[in-house]
């Protein structure tokens, strides 16, 4: 680790050396340095390690990865707050504030929730309970690989894309990448020529190429569909306006799966933290007695 940090320091000192390193690669190197330094040189216990295997049916390959998952956001946010005089956090998805501030371990003195700019007259919202097969559409985890369920959603996507094609494209958001792969295979059966899918891995440049194709096809006024994942690349910070999102289909609710290893580890960490708080509180009251 010492050799790694010495090499990193040498690169930081030389501007010419830094220019030889891609910006994305440099960000990864710095993040790795931050994590490994915390793990090896401090009493840090807020990271979990996991070796994962993901099958990507879209690219027909398997991806193995070793992950460092941060279990306590306050570990990063706390030192950052101490370095600034003023901090403003803006987003359309911060509410509920109670859980958000609890995650960061910081109390915000000023909070504001502004009304939305879009009026009710500009948007049509509908909830579908059944599909063309007359079966109830229930977006639970046990139904995620059910062919009847998937085919009903695929038909909705196809019909919607055909209907709105003169006016724009159709965005579809689903709960997970595993579900995305399953749905992609069913939607392909409808022979939608311009069907795009958000890649789970790969560079930001690869995703931007897909977005560019998606936008270009929309201008041809043909059925165009982009399949995305909640909390994925397309869901966070992307601006899909006007014809880019003439129709938006949300499958299920934007909650992570309870059987996701990262969620299970996070849940266990939060439970242990709450238990420790209760124990410390009881100990404090006993000392007062």
> Exposure of 133 by Cβ count < 10 A (0-12 exposed, 13-18 middle, 19+ buried)?
exposed
Lowest mean pLDDT among 103-107, 207-211, 214-218, 235-239: 235-239
Given pLDDT bands bounded at 50, 70 and 90, which one contains residue 286?
very low
Fold of 147-250: Rossmann fold (3.40.50)
Please determine, for residue 41, whether its predicted confidence score (pLDDT) is greater than 70. Answer: yes
Q: Looking at residue 275, what is its pLDDT?
A: 46
- The whole-angstrom separation of Cα 223 and Cα 250 is 18
Q: How far apart are the first and last CA of the chain?
A: 49
Residue 124, CA distances (Å) to 119, 171, 226, 234 in order: 10, 15, 20, 22
Q: What is the pLDDT of residues 137-189, one digit of tens each?
A: 888 777 888 899 999 999 999 999 999 999 999 999 998 888 899 999 999 99
Domain ranges of the chain: 8-71+258-287, 72-114, 147-250
What whole-number distance in Å separates Cα of residue 158 and Cα of residue 249? 11
Q: pLDDT for 4-21, tens place per residue? A: 666 666 766 677 666 777
pLDDT digits (tens, 9 = 90+) for 50-76: 888 877 655 677 888 888 888 888 888
Report pLDDT for 220.
92
Q: Residues of the chain with pLDDT > 90: what percent?
A: 25
**pLDDT value at residue 54:** 76
Give the pLDDT of residue 98: 82
Per-residue pLDDT at 170: 96
Decide if pLDDT at 227 tops 90. Answer: yes
Give the mean model confidence (pLDDT) for residues 74-93: 86
Among 3-7, 97-101, 203-207, which stretch is predicted with the lowest mean pLDDT? Answer: 3-7
Please compute the mean of the pLDDT values over residues 104-133 and round it to a whole number.
87
Residue (of 34, 66, 1, 52) closest to 178 by Cα position? 52
């Amino acid at each position: 680790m010492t050799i790694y940090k010495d090499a990193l320091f040498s690169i930081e000192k030389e501007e010419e050396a830094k220019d030889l390193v891609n910006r994305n690669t440099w960000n990864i190197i710095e993040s790795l340095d931050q994590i490994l330094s915390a793990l090896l040189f401090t009493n840090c216990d807020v990271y979990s390690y996991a070796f994962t295997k993901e099958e990507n049916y879209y690219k027909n390959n398997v991806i193995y990865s070793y992950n460092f998952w941060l279990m306590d956001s306050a570990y990063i946010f706390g030192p950052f707050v101490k370095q600034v005089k003023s901090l403003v956090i803006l987003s359309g998805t911060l509410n509920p504030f109670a859980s958000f501030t609890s995650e960061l371990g910081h109390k915000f003195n000023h909070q504001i929730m502004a009304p939305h700019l879009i009026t009710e007259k500009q948007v049509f919202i509908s909830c579908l309970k059944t599909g063309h097969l007359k079966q109830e559409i229930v977006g639970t985890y046990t139904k995620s690989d059910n062919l009847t369920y998937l085919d009903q959603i695929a038909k909705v996507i196809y019909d919607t894309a055909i209907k709105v094609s003169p006016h724009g494209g159709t965005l579809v958001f689903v709960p997970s990448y595993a579900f995305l792969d399953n749905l992609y295979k069913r939607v392909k059966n409808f022979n939608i020529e311009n069907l795009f899918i958000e890649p789970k891995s790969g560079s930001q440049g690869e995703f931007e190429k897909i977005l560019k194709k998606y936008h270009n096809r929309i201008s041809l006024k043909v059925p165009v569909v982009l399949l995305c994942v909640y909390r994925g690349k397309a869901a966070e910070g992307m601006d899909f306006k006007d014809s880019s999102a003439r129709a938006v289909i949300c499958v299920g609710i934007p909650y992570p799966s309870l059987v996701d290893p990262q969620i299970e580890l996070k849940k266990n960490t939060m439970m242990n933290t709450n238990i420790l708080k209760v124990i410390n509180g009881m100990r404090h009251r006993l000392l007062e007695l």
